[in-house]
Amino acid sequence: MTNRSKSQPNDKMALRLDFSHMMSDFVGPDRGITRQEIDDLIPRTSAIAADIEAKREAGDLGFYQLPYDMEAAAAATDMAGRFQGKCDDLVVLGIGGSALGGTALFRALCHPLHNLLSKSERGGKPRVFILDNVDPATVGSLLDFVDLEKTVFNVITKSGSTAETLSQFLIIRQLLTDKIGRESVKEHLVVTTGAGGQLRQLAEQEGYPLLSIPETVGGRFSVLSPVGLFPAALFGVDIAELLAGARYMDDRCRTDQLWQNPAYLAGALHYLADVKKGLSIAIMMPYSDALIQVGYWFRQLWAESLGKAINNSGETVNVGPTPVVASGVTDQHSQLQLYSEGPFNKLITFLLVENPDQSLTIPQHLEPREGISYLGGRDLEELMQIEAQSTQLALTKAGRSNMSLILPQTNAFTIGQLFFLLEVQTVFAGGLYGINPMDQPGVEASKQYIYGMLGRSGFEDKAREAKKWRDRGGRYTI
């Protein structure tokens, strides 16, 4: 473990955490956190940090290795090179952790209207569609829309057995086979999967190009593995910078000094806000359309990792804050009333970008006009910043805890930092709650009923249970 003190060349691109508005001297003693409450977590922090470090060294927390896995990055880049320039469309098939990271990367780092640009305006990169649902209206419309012969499909599933993703895959494989013949399917399909599972076996048999997800990397922690890297390389993200950003954040977070570790501190603030102050709803509110999908990626990470029934000692605890995504400035006109005056049960994390790429000046009105002229000559960028500040001020004045994660710019390096910070924050918060942040028994339980109800062998007891549940009389309906 290191204490980070030396200045880094990339420091001007460093993310900052401003947690002033979490503290009791800003939001008042009832909901605000005191320095003493943070200090009280220091002994537990040392123990949790040592546990994390031991697991990391043993290779059990695989996401920590991803920013250093140059082989996996090269495999993703090479695979993208095979399809670069040869396809008009990239369609990703996946769900949960196999879809949300790629979606976040696409929205954060590609042109906001990428799919509407011409191919040359996109620099030859494909349009991008991420199918993370099995709604036949969406799947069918997309398949009618794309030209199969100019499309690459990336099937992503860590387990290789998720019914939703396998169903999409089977539909697409059939369509491709019918159109171009079985032998040519491999020219349009890339399979990203774990070591076990049916899909891997099938891909090996059929000779589909394969990318591997390390066994110790769970779906929601996989964005910096080939799960996110292959599509990102294909749609034009600088993945070397993305990984460099993650390594930079790792360097900042590899200390057990709570006051110096941004991820640990953010995790501790969330934990204290929930457990001590009753702020059990964690709202992430980006003031940047490009970062909205990072909010949804985090929503899964926080919910699936921390929402647990049983703690590490086997006791029933039923813990976990509820993550919510809100959109700045839009939701000032939808949610803010509730956030400022409703129950004291919310903690808001703003995602702010200090220097956005784009600005647009509001023209001066021709003649001075009360209530309108004050906008003239201002930039939309400035308006967005002022709206964020006014929201922070109003919330803080109303005693509502909030903090800000500030990106100097939106680029691959800062997004790499952001992903890594939030992942470390999640693992540390798991330690504070005393639960295992890496499993998801609630998701697995539902998957087993799906298998049972669809007749997969080995899940007959689940099928019987489901039938009994469906046949149960005395339902309340109107």
Cα separation, 383 vs 39, in Å, equals 38
Neighbour tally for 97: CB within 10 Å: 26
- Is 398 strand, coil or helix? coil
Cα separation, 21 vs 397, in Å, equals 10
- Which residue in the shown chain puts its C-beta closest to ligand PA5? 219
Site membership for ligand PA5, residue 200 (CB under 6 A): no
Site membership for ligand PA5, residue 102 (CB under 6 A): no
Region of 12-20, 93-101, 310-318, 416-424 interacting with ligand PA5 (CB under 6 A): 93-101
Site membership for ligand PA5, residue 307 (CB under 6 A): no
List, in order, residues 6 or more apart from 26 with CB less than 8 Å away: 20, 32, 396
Q: From the CB of 99, what's the least distance to ligand PA5, in Å?
A: 8
Cβ closest to ligand PA5, residue 104 vs residue 388: 104
Site membership for ligand PA5, residue 392 (CB under 6 A): no
Type and span of the H or E element at 81: helix 70-83
DSSP 363: P
Indicate which single residue of 173, 188, 220, 299 sits in contact with ligand PA5 (rule: CB under 6 A): 220
Residue from 21, 125, 346, 447 carrying the catalytic annotation: 447
Structural tokens at position 356: 């956005």
Site membership for ligand PA5, residue 299 (CB under 6 A): no
Residue from 304, 308, 423, 462 carrying the catalytic annotation: 304
447 noted as active-site residue: yes
Cα separations in angstroms, 162 against 157, 181, 319 = 7, 26, 26
Which residues share a beta bridge with 403? 349
Region of 15-23, 31-39, 120-128, 216-224 interacting with ligand PA5 (CB under 6 A): 216-224
List, in order, residues 6 or more apart from 144 with CB less than 8 Å away: none
Which residues share a beta bridge with 404? 18, 350
Cβ closest to ligand PA5, residue 231 vs residue 328: 231
Indicate which single residue of 77, 159, 401, 426 sits in contact with ligand PA5 (rule: CB under 6 A): 159
Region of 152-160, 180-188, 378-386, 429-437 interacting with ligand PA5 (CB under 6 A): 152-160
Kindly report the CA angle at 29 between 27 and 34, in degrees rounded to 5? 90
Amino acid at 138: T
What ranges in 58-162 are assigned the alpha helix state H?
A: 70-83, 100-109, 136-145
Site membership for ligand PA5, residue 327 (CB under 6 A): no
Q: From the CB of 32, what's the least distance to ligand PA5, in Å?
A: 33
Residues composing the chain = 478
Indicate which single residue of 171, 202, 443, 453 sits in contact with ligand PA5 (rule: CB under 6 A): 443
Residue from 6, 12, 333, 468 carrying the catalytic annotation: 333
Region of 7-15, 83-91, 153-161, 365-373 interacting with ligand PA5 (CB under 6 A): 153-161
Region of 56-64, 102-110, 158-166, 414-422 interacting with ligand PA5 (CB under 6 A): 158-166
Indicate which single residue of 97, 226, 286, 321 sits in contact with ligand PA5 (rule: CB under 6 A): 97
Structural tokens at position 127: 């349009």
Cβ closest to ligand PA5, residue 297 vs residue 339: 297
Cβ closest to ligand PA5, residue 63 vs residue 428: 63
Site membership for ligand PA5, residue 98 (CB under 6 A): yes
Site membership for ligand PA5, residue 218 (CB under 6 A): yes
Cα separation, 197 vs 383, in Å, equals 51
Indicate which single residue of 154, 157, 410, 411 sits in contact with ligand PA5 (rule: CB under 6 A): 157
Site membership for ligand PA5, residue 225 (CB under 6 A): no
Q: From the CB of 70, what's the least distance to ligand PA5, in Å?
A: 23
333 noted as active-site residue: yes
304 noted as active-site residue: yes
Q: From the CB of 429, what's the least distance to ligand PA5, in Å?
A: 16
Site membership for ligand PA5, residue 440 (CB under 6 A): yes
Is residue 294 a contact partner of residue 286, using CB atoms and an 8 Å limit?
A: yes
Cα separation, 195 vs 216, in Å, equals 11
The sign of the torsion formed by the CA atoms of 154, 231, 323, 319 equals: positive
Q: From the CB of 159, what's the least distance to ligand PA5, in Å?
A: 3
Type and span of the H or E element at 35: helix 35-39
Cα separation, 101 vs 298, in Å, equals 9
Cα separation, 158 vs 215, in Å, equals 8
Cα separations in angstroms, 82 against 105, 169, 216 = 21, 21, 28
Indicate which single residue of 125, 158, 254, 462 sits in contact with ligand PA5 (rule: CB under 6 A): 158
Count of residues touching ligand PA5 (by CB under 6 A): 15
Q: From the CB of 194, what's the least distance to ligand PA5, in Å?
A: 7
Is residue 435 a contact partner of residue 381, using CB atoms and an 8 Å limit?
A: no
Region of 57-65, 218-226, 310-318, 414-422 interacting with ligand PA5 (CB under 6 A): 218-226
Structural tokens at position 147: 């030209």
- List the catalytic residues: 304, 333, 447
Contact residues for ligand PA5, defined by CB under 6 A: 95-98, 157-159, 162, 165, 218-220, 304, 440, 443
